[in-house]
């Protein structure tokens, strides 16, 4: 018999979420009378973190969406203007030709695509660059006089495209510029004749991001990386970073004062100067980092998004500066709440009520999800194992029969392959409901995994369990499952004196597979 303490806990646990939240909120109201300062500070910190998380998540989503848009743009350019027979034949001619032929092809190719390149530059195309299969540069439209250099040791993407003959997309540094690169293999008459890169500057991403608040962005790259990869005479494209001596910034994207809602260069300098020491503590120490500063009662959120290249190496950060008025509002509210005493505690307790009610509901939902298969809403494997152990103990102690049924859907893989996984999911749910309707309340029916199910039949002898399985088999055989003919194979066994949970289930599983080996759509008993 449960103890009084356990009965009390159970009553509390089963209280409706609204009533339980109300009781707790009243208790919180009383406690807050003696600890309002601590509570308001805790609330302030939570709101601040939520606001920071929301703002940074918004930026992350914007960056991801922008990169997808650039990829679509690059695919359109490649398909419509470059992956054409005349362009490919020119690259094949250059690939097989000598230096004289290559010079002729280079000039022809430049004249052919230069008008397109001029047009694309207005859309933040930074590079249109052709390469030969040996990973040497063939034609840089941004530096047409510079060609023939080996890119294999600095351009992982080009080397991989030539090796795999598949396109690669992502950020990468280069001999002259960095960019979000889209490198495509070029094939002519079934032969790899080179590759082409359509590269966007980070300005292209910034251009696609639109927000109502003031903001600015920087591209922060490791100094050693630029020193190693970029041509010496092109390293002037980068400037020392105010944030750290170990990083440089791309001059072309460092500030954007002409854009609407852009933070001024002077204010960026003030933010960097104020947060300089904090920067040293976060760089390289976290995934997405956030810093907050206040300049003349204006709050700024500075977020560092780690940037990886096509090799998966960390090469720097995209730095996002946001004028976040929400931080000022949260801070001012915190100061006001500290002044207000008992008159506001009722409002706080009311907010606590709604918060707790939602948390209790979510917790109970998560508890239910942990016990239930998400697709069929049946008990999951863990719940079934616990029920099996309990029933085995009960059966052995009271000398009661206990039977186990394993079954699965025949040729389920064929259903998935032919009609798709969505149809397969519908079939699983239909079968689950049909079998569930054919069982009693004391029976335990669970999804074991994939298309396999298991049924525990307490107080049921083997011959009766066989009848149950045969009835279910016939029911499934005649079931209207989305115009599909469904059959199932069954294995039925009974608990024996020396059985463990593992041996019982192993025997049932083997009987199921014997049904499959004997032709499927049958019940095998053992």
As a whole number of angstroms, the distance between CA 278 and CA 128 comes to 39
Q: Of the ranges 74-83, 148-157, 247-256, which is most confident?
A: 74-83
Are 197 and 234 part of one and the same domain? Answer: no
Are 398 and 515 part of one and the same domain? Answer: yes
pLDDT at 124 over 90: no
Q: Tell me if 55 is assigned to some domain.
A: no
- Among 246-255, 336-345, 402-411, 433-442, where is mean pLDDT lowest? 336-345
- Among 357-366, 376-385, 392-401, 464-473, where is mean pLDDT lowest? 357-366
Q: Of the ranges 102-111, 123-132, 350-359, 478-487, which is most confident?
A: 102-111
Are 308 and 390 part of one and the same domain? Answer: no
Q: Tell me if 361 is assigned to some domain.
A: no
pLDDT at residue 384, rounded to an integer: 92
Q: Tell me if 155 is assigned to some domain.
A: yes
- Could you give the 3-state DSSP secondary structure of residue 265? helix
As a whole number of angstroms, the distance between CA 418 and CA 348 comes to 57
Mean pLDDT of the region 150-173: 90
Of 152, 169, 201, which marks where a domain is finished?
201
Mean pLDDT of the region 292-319: 86
pLDDT at residue 7, rounded to an integer: 47
208-263 pLDDT per residue, tens: 765 556 788 888 888 888 888 888 888 888 888 888 888 888 887 644 555 556 78
Q: Tell me if 10 is assigned to some domain.
A: no
pLDDT at residue 95, rounded to an integer: 95
pLDDT at residue 509, rounded to an integer: 94
Are 215 and 189 part of one and the same domain? Answer: no
What percent of the chain has a predicted confidence (pLDDT) above 90? 42
CATH of the domain at 113: 3.30.450.20
pLDDT at residue 504, rounded to an integer: 94
Are 177 and 296 part of one and the same domain? Answer: no
CATH of the domain at 281: 3.30.450
- Among 53-62, 190-199, 258-267, 294-303, where is mean pLDDT lowest? 258-267
Q: Tell me if 336 is assigned to some domain.
A: no
Secondary structure in 3-state letters for 214-234: CEEEEEEEEHHHHHHHCCHHH
Are 160 and 228 part of one and the same domain? Answer: no
The residue range of the domain holding 459 is: 381-525
Question: Which spans in 149-215 are helix H?
Answer: 156-164, 202-208
- Among 220-229, 380-389, 404-413, 419-428, where is mean pLDDT lowest? 220-229
- Could you give the 3-state DSSP secondary structure of residue 184? strand
**In which band, very low, low, confident or very high, does the pLDDT at 6 lie, cut at 50, 70 and 90?**
very low
Are 286 and 179 part of one and the same domain? Answer: no
**In which band, very low, low, confident or very high, does the pLDDT at 18 lie, cut at 50, 70 and 90?**
low
pLDDT at 66 over 90: no
Q: Tell me if 502 is assigned to some domain.
A: yes
Q: Tell me if 27 is assigned to some domain.
A: no
Are 190 and 221 part of one and the same domain? Answer: no
Mean pLDDT of the region 94-105: 95
| pTM for the structure as a whole | 0.52
Of 201, 225, 259, which marks where a domain is finished?
201
Helix H or strand E encompassing 243: none
**In which band, very low, low, confident or very high, does the pLDDT at 1 lie, cut at 50, 70 and 90?**
very low
As a whole number of angstroms, the distance between CA 21 and CA 357 comes to 5
Query: 304-331 burial string, b = 16+ CB within 10 Å, else e?
Result: bbebebbeeeebbbbbbbbbbebbeebb
pLDDT at 457 over 90: yes
pLDDT at residue 369, rounded to an integer: 67
pLDDT at residue 346, rounded to an integer: 73
CATH of the domain at 394: 3.30.70.270
Are 390 and 521 part of one and the same domain? Answer: yes
Angle at 319 between CA 314 and CA 321, to 5 degrees: 165
Of 311, 326, 341, which marks where a domain is finished?
326
pLDDT at residue 2, rounded to an integer: 47
**In which band, very low, low, confident or very high, does the pLDDT at 298 lie, cut at 50, 70 and 90?**
confident
Are 435 and 459 part of one and the same domain? Answer: yes
Closest by alpha carbon to 133, among 194, 88, 184? 194
- Could you give the 3-state DSSP secondary structure of residue 174? coil
Are 159 and 189 part of one and the same domain? Answer: yes
Angle, helices 462-477 vs 421-437, to 10°: value is: 130
Q: How many structural domains does the chain have?
A: 3
Mean pLDDT of the region 83-93: 95
Q: Tell me if 66 is assigned to some domain.
A: no
| CA dihedral sign, ordered 97, 99, 101, 106 | positive
462-474 pLDDT per residue, tens: 999 999 999 999 9
Strand partners, 186: 194
pLDDT at residue 16, rounded to an integer: 64
Are 415 and 468 part of one and the same domain? Answer: yes
């Amino acid at each position: 018999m449960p103890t009084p303490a356990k009965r009390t806990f159970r009553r509390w646990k089963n209280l409706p979420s609204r009533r339980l939240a109300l009781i707790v909120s009243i208790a919180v109201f009383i406690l807050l009378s003696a600890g309002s300062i601590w509570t308001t500070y805790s609330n302030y910190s939570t709101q601040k973190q939520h606001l920071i998380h929301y703002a940074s998540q918004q930026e992350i989503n914007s960056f991801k969406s922008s990169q997808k848009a650039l990829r679509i743009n690059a695919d359109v350019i490649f398909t419509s203007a470059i992956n054409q027979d005349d362009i490919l034949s020119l690259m094949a001619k250059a690939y097989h030709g000598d230096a004289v032929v290559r010079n002729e092809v280079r000039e022809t190719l430049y004249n052919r695509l230069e008008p397109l390149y001029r047009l694309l530059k207005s859309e933040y195309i930074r590079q249109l660059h052709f390469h030969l299969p040996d990973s040497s540069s063939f034609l840089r439209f941004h530096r047409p006089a510079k060609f023939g250099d080996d890119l294999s040791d600095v351009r992982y993407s080009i080397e991989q495209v030539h090796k795999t003959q598949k396109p690669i997309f992502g950020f990468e540094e280069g001999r002259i510029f960095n960019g979000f690169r889209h490198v495509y293999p070029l094939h002519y008459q079934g032969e790899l004749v080179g590759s082409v890169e359509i590269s966007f500057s980070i300005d292209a991403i910034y251009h696609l991001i639109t927000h109502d608040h003031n903001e600015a962005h920087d591209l922060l790259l490791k100094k050693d990386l630029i020193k190693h990869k970029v041509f010496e005479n092109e390293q002037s494209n980068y400037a020392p970073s105010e944030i750290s001596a170990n990083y440089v910034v791309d001059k072309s994207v460092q500030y954007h004062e002409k854009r609407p809602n852009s933070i001024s260069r002077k204010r960026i300098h003030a933010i960097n100067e104020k947060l300089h020491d904090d920067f040293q503590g976060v760089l390289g120490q976290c995934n997405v980092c956030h810093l907050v500063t206040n300049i003349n009662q204006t709050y700024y959120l500075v977020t560092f998004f780690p940037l990886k290249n096509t090799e998966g190496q960390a090469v720097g950060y995209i730095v996002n500066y946001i004028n976040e008025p929400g931080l000022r509002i949260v801070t001012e509210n915190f100061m006001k709440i500290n002044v207000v005493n008992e008159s506001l505690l009722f409002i706080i307790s009311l907010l606590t009520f709604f918060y707790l009610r939602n948390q209790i509901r979510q917790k109970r939902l998560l508890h239910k999800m942990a016990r239930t298969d998400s697709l069929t809403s049946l008990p999951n494997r863990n719940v079934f194992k616990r029920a099996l152990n309990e029933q085995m103990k009960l059966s052995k102690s009271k000398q009661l029969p206990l039977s186990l049924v394993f079954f699965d859907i025949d040729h389920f893989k064929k259903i998935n392959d032919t009609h798709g996984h969505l149809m397969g999911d519908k079939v699983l749910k239909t079968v689950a409901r049909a079998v569930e309707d054919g069982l009693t309340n004391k029976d335990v029916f669970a999804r074991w995994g994939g298309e396999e199910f298991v049924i525990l039949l307490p107080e049921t002898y083997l011959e009766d369990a066989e009848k149950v399985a045969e009835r279910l088999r016939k029911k499934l055989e005649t079931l209207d499952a989305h115009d599909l003919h469904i059959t199932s194979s069954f294995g039925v066994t009974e608990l024996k004196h020396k059985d463990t949970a593992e041996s019982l289930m192993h025997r049932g599983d083997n009987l199921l597979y014997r049904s499959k080996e004997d032709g499927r759509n049958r019940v095998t008993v053992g």
